[in-house]
A and B are shown apart, each in its own frame.
Chain A
Amino acid sequence: MNPSLAVIFLTLFSGAGFGLMAMVAMVNDFAIDGALSPLRTAILVALALLLVTMGMVSSTAHLANPKNAWRAFTRWRTSWLAREGVFAVLFYPLAIAYLGWVFFMNNDRDGVALLLGNAAALIGLITIFCQGMIYACLRTIRQWHTPLVPANFYALGLALGMTVLSTSRLLAHRHDLAMVSIASALLVAAAVMKAIYYFWIGAPSGTTLQTATGFTRGRVRLLDQGHTFGTFLTHEFSNSISPGRALRFKVAVYLLGFLAPIAILLTAAHVAIGLAVLLAPLLAFIGIGLERYLFFVEAQHVVNLYHGRMPGSLPQMHPALRAGAENPAPAGKRRLVPSYEER
């Protein structure tokens, strides 16, 4: 799939925002490490709103016809995308009310605050689920059609949220071990979930060019795709990454997205490292951003079969495209699938 920045940012930032909101609510609910101060709660909720908004705004960049975006809520009965929209929109009044209450009442522990905070957190969590389901419900993309996707979205969103939250505490020189431990645990959980996912998508898919065309008796090869240059379909679906490159990316995901943040958080919880603690969320965002890039670029839509390319099931791929598949944009070489944006 086309790893468009708009969609990468949408899931990355809004996931982190909802995760942060959920973590704020949890920390206050259970007074973990003594809960947050109303001001800090307000700041973190504002940050959550900012992250969610960044995600939402960037997602509209993905729309070719944004003037109809308002219609996106109408089909909530069937469409996970509509549902995501509905819940994302619902999130705002609750989160803002919570923020307002906490800020103006200067109390984040009263019933109203707890109610508003937990409600906002719940809506955020539901939104993450919808977001996951947007991908998981697609039978056309095997790498997405799995409950591991919403599970991953949760793990990653919450881990990011908690990383941000603990960083904010560490910045204030509070060595809140419980929070750091939760953040680390969430990061570890996310890493494990992601590992399970990576193993799962490695398994071969049953659908091949043979079954897709109905010619199951012989080897099927693409002779000609019927057009010399790219089309919407090749632009949208035919991105891919070579296994070697994907592995390097995954190492980076683990190093930047999981290991480094844990290490920094744990270090900061014991020794003062000052502003350097900001590296934890920064690297987490970069690492998980890379993870999100891989999430798209490794996803292979079945329609690629018809274009003779389906990395992962290399034998069906037209060798003409193999070179391109292993190295999406060889420098100075004509790309087999030209980019739309370039024109």
Chain B
Amino acid sequence: MSAVQHGHDQGKQEIKYSTCYMCACRCGIKVTIEDNRVRFIQGNRNHPINKGVLCAKGSAGIMKQCSPARLRSPLMRKPGTERGAGEFIEISWEQALDMLTERLARIRATDPNKFAFFTGRDQMQALSRLFAEQFGTLNWSAHGGFCSVNMAAAGLYTLGYAFWEFGDPDWDRTKYFMLWGVAEDHNSNPMKIGIEKLKSRGGKFVGINPARTGYQAVADEWVPIRPGTDAVLALSMVHVLLSRELFDWDFLIRYTNAPFLVVQTPGQKGDGLIYRDEAGHPLAWDLKKEGFVNGLDAACHPALFGEHKTPDGRTVKTVMTLLAERYLDDRFAPENAAKICGIPASTIERLALEMAHVAFKETIEVAVEWTDWAGRKHDKFIGRPVSMHAMRGVSAHSNGFQAARAIHFLQILLGTIDCPGGFRAKAPYPRPVPSPGKPAKRSAPNTPLDAHPLGFPTAPEDLVIDEDGQPLRIDKAYSWEAPIANHGLMHMVITNAVKADPYPVDTLLFFMANMAWNSTMNTANIQDMLRERGPDGEYKIPFLVVVDAFHSETVHFADLVLPDTTYLERYDAISLLDRPISEPDAVCDSIRHPLLALDRDVRPWQEVLVELGGRLKLPVFTNPDGTPKYKGYKDFITYYEREPGIGFLAGYRGADGSKSLRGEPNPQQWERYIENQGFFQYHLPKDIRYLRFANKGYLEFATEAGFLKSPEPIVIELYSEAIQKFRLAGLGLYDGPMPKERVDQERLATYFDPLPDYYEPLEQQRVDKNEYPFFAVNQRPMMMYHSWDSQNAWLRQIIAQNHLYMNRARGESLGLKDEDWVWVESHNGKIRVQLRLIEGCQEDTVWTWNAIGKQSGTWGLKPGAPEATQGFLMNHLISELLPEKPGERRITNSDPITGQAAWYDLRVKVTRAAPGEEGVWPTFANVPPLPGAEPKPDVLRYNTRAKA
């Protein structure tokens, strides 16, 4: 070791543990700090999520911390300047908060809905939701509506948990893993750890994706599907399974509504609803008793198939019969499915059979005694080691809800739900199907809402509409246009507010969302809308507040900018009440705490929210004497209880910290988390780790922990009665609210299918396929998080420009060459971008990396940065509204069921740009630097040893 000095002076170093914030995977980090500077960020090997590993974004955290794009103090649009011109003056926090308090208090006293509060990939949604609820505005939601509510809703209306963040493959046992439409997703590190485990065990990994990069690169089989057609592929595999009787009889009978009877009275009220007894129990046909019985009864022997006549003469069929009739249809035969999804029939059949083989011939067992919901003891869990994960490739289409349900159907038929080797739930999931809780409907001055702003409608009565059927929310969530929009429609807020449709708002607050750029559709027009004034000369959106930590494209449209800290400078609670980080075997939550001292006049947004809550005297945040109840965020997290014993953090509760999950507040709770390296995990006993929907021990445990209201078994719903009720409303056959407009009636009748089916994505139904021959989709690059990593001096070296990728042979047949500049045109507009021809791209698809393009002057980049001159956003081509149809109001470009933004329904044509036409188009005006912005060095020599 003689020639080698140590790279560090350990004497000056401190090691602290926290949680990464570079994406919502929320890995545990071990941070070495030297002189208030970060020496090294490493994965925490004790952490349940990442077990020591760290991704490129997490490892590049140092460069986030020293980014010149960090906001430095509150800013106010310079009086007399135009919105969007980017002219600001620095103000104090006192001024900023006074201004905001005064405004919000006025709104709250008159019409709280005039305050619209929308948050992006907030990791503290539970607090922002609580704030909105207490404020009394219906107009709150987080990013889920433009992200992947299709996954969440499909799962929650089928299994009680979902892809996205609520479930995971059983990486330790699965032998066959099918990945649908995923480039990276939020379980970034666990997925990579898991894929390696699977492959080293000799398991098979199938990637269904029009592009072959990243995960699909290491897939044993790549299935280059045509975008938007996953439902056909999945249902065709269902067809193969059914036709060969390859499904798990026991599973279907015991745990799903497959044997329940459905009323068949086409054209009449009540058609398609579950046949129930007087008490409302679903009925099944008992094979031993030869009669109708309560299908929820433990002792019955329900028939899976069959058609019966009810005493009152109606025909009823089992769900499974309907399902078989539907999917055995020739439409779903592999030969026919192949024509739509582009996958050869033989491949479809083989994949289905391979999974059946692994599920039924390579069954595994976990020998643990457990008790089912009915009190019956079993000596083992049977595992069918086939697992799946799916995300935005499926969800970001307007048929994504049904496509995701179709994928769940495959899993259910194979009996792979929450079993060893299958697709496992993560606490606090599973929830009852559908989840309890209805969205709040009423708002009144100076009054908190009587429910959460978001919830789970199960019938038209639950919609958030007025007597005329008009939407009550600014984003029109829970209206006829998007009845089960469980996460809101954040992508519609600006358009609707500017059109005053359904009404105008006064103050719009965006937290952590780049809504004037990459997280909006139709970017250029949205920027114009933000600047739009009414006849009175007032901005259509009178006051825009942006809470951000960095100089994003949205910041320069703000009237008031509230600067947040970075993740290494604040307290955060990653709560089970929020987007949980649990693992299948353990209930988990975690925290962040300040590792570095602040060097700017910024404040954690959570801190500001708690303070605003006190200033506005919102009940939860206020003592009876009107004084603020909490000293700040840390104090709030320690003492706030949602119900007795349940707070934001589940660990170290009880006065002495000895209680887990439920217990009185512990004044030392934060300290205990910090001692435990920033996280808490409660390992589930072995007998309650599987089949949790029907596992007595688990159901009771979950009730005690507050995850469930009562320990009733959760029945998996193949057939969705809730969806059928909306369909009946569309058909005019419902006893309750029904839509008046033809378009709504048609949408409900067509798309609200209680059994998933394929339909062509909505936008594609309206554009000419000959004119726009290509599907256009995006992928997340593994080393970039949306727009916010272009400020990272290391990551942007890896990718500072994105290209449009096209299948080589297809491109060559069109006379296109690598590096050509091409025009890409959709029904909504056109852009000029640079082309690359590759092999790993389905022939009818073009794709690009998401959110690489930037507006010049933002993100701490110098004018002329390639992100602004050569990088591009596909968003310009995507419209937030469907193409116009004569005689019809403009309809959102979203899933007709959930309101999920349909980013990937886009169709385009690609033509070579004329000679001399180079560089991206459109480009945007350069944004001037913010007051007090940090200088941007020409050479960067980060080093904690010698300050370079």
Contacts and interface: CB of A to CB of B under 8 A. Distances in A.
Q: Do A and B bind? A: yes
Interface stretch (A5-13, A26-34, A226-234, A239-247): A226-234
Contact of B817 (A318, A319, A334, A336): A319
A223 B838 contact: yes
Nearest to A231: B797
B840 A227 contact: no
A19 B726 CA distance: 95
B840 A320 contact: no
Nearest to B867: A228
Of A223, A226, A227, most B-chain CB atoms within 10 Å? A223
Interface string B840-853: 10000000000000
Of A228, A320, A322, A323, most B-chain CB atoms within 10 Å? A228
A228 B801 contact: yes
A333 B799 CA distance: 20
Given A228-B797, A228-B799, A319 B818 contact: yes
Interface in B808-822: 817-819
B798 A228 contact: yes
Contacts of B796: 228
B839 interface: yes
Interface in A291-343: 318-320, 322-323, 333-334, 336
Given A221-B839, A223-B838, A223-B840, A320 B798 contact: no
Contacts of A320: 818-819, 836
Interface in B743-799: 796-799
Contacts of B837: 319
Interface in A211-229: 221, 223, 226-229
Given A221-B839, A319-B837, A227 B797 contact: yes
Nearest to B796: A228
B866 interface: yes
A337 B799 CA distance: 15
Contact of A229 (B800, B818, B839, B918): B800
Interface residues of B, number: 18
A334 B870 CA distance: 10
Of B213, B800, B818, B918, most A-chain CB atoms within 10 Å? B818
Contacts of A319: 817-819, 837
A76 B870 CA distance: 49
Contacts of B838: 221, 223
A224 to B, nearest CB: 8
Q: Helix, strand, loop or mixed for chain B's interface?
A: loop
A236 B839 CA distance: 30
Interface in A187-220: none
B913 to A, nearest CB: 13
A227 B819 CA distance: 16
Contacts of B918: 333-334
B818 A228 contact: no
B845 to A, nearest CB: 16
Interface string B50-75: 00000000000000000000000000
B157 to A, nearest CB: 39
A130 B232 CA distance: 70
Contacts of A318: 818
B112 to A, nearest CB: 47
B119 to A, nearest CB: 32
Q: Helix, strand, loop or mixed for chain A's interface?
A: loop
A75 B837 CA distance: 48
Interface string B19-32: 00000000000000
Interface in A43-78: none
Contacts of A323: 819
B918 to A, nearest CB: 8
A258 B801 CA distance: 47
B836 A228 contact: no
Given A319-B818, A320-B819, A228 B839 contact: no
B851 to A, nearest CB: 15
Nearest to A228: B800
A229 B838 CA distance: 20
A318 B803 CA distance: 15
Contacts of B839: 221
Contacts of B819: 319-320, 323, 336
A219 to B, nearest CB: 9
A221 B840 CA distance: 11
Contacts of B799: 228
A319 B839 CA distance: 13
A43 to B, nearest CB: 48
A323 B798 CA distance: 22
A222 to B, nearest CB: 10
A227 B840 CA distance: 19
Contacts of B800: 228-229
Contacts of A322: 818
A96 B32 CA distance: 60
Nearest to B939: A343
Nearest to A319: B818
Of A221, A320, A323, most B-chain CB atoms within 10 Å? A320
Contacts of B797: 227-229
B200 to A, nearest CB: 20
A322 B836 CA distance: 13
A333 B796 CA distance: 22
B840 A226 contact: no
B726 to A, nearest CB: 45
A291 B838 CA distance: 38
B938 to A, nearest CB: 8
Contacts of A221: 838-839
Contacts of A228: 796-801, 866
Contacts of B840: 223
A223 B213 CA distance: 9
A286 to B, nearest CB: 35
Nearest to A218: B839
Interface string B196-216: 000000000000000001000
B696 to A, nearest CB: 52
B803 to A, nearest CB: 9
A336 B797 CA distance: 14
A108 to B, nearest CB: 52
A318 B870 CA distance: 20
Of A226, A322, A334, most B-chain CB atoms within 10 Å? A334
Contacts of B801: 228
Nearest to A336: B819
Interface string B915-929: 000100000000000
A190 to B, nearest CB: 40
A341 to B, nearest CB: 14
B557 to A, nearest CB: 28
B435 to A, nearest CB: 42
Nearest to B870: A334
Interface string B340-383: 00000000000000000000000000000000000000000000
A233 B817 CA distance: 26
Contacts of B818: 318-320, 322
A336 B834 CA distance: 13
A326 to B, nearest CB: 13
B853 to A, nearest CB: 13
A227 B798 contact: yes
A323 B818 CA distance: 9
A228 B799 CA distance: 5
B220 to A, nearest CB: 17
19 contacts: A221-B838, A223-B838, A223-B840, A227-B797, A228-B796, A228-B797, A228-B798, A228-B800, A228-B801, A229-B797, A229-B800, A229-B866, A318-B818, A319-B817, A320-B818, A322-B818, A334-B870, A334-B918, A336-B819
Task: State the 5 A-B residue pairs at the shortest beta-carbon distance, nearest first.
Answer: A228-B800, A319-B818, A320-B818, A320-B819, A228-B801
Interface of B: 213, 796-801, 817-819, 836-840, 866, 870, 918
Interface of A: 221, 223, 226-229, 318-320, 322-323, 333-334, 336
Given A223-B838, A223-B840, A228-B801, 5 more contacts: A221-B839, A227-B798, A318-B818, A319-B817, A336-B819
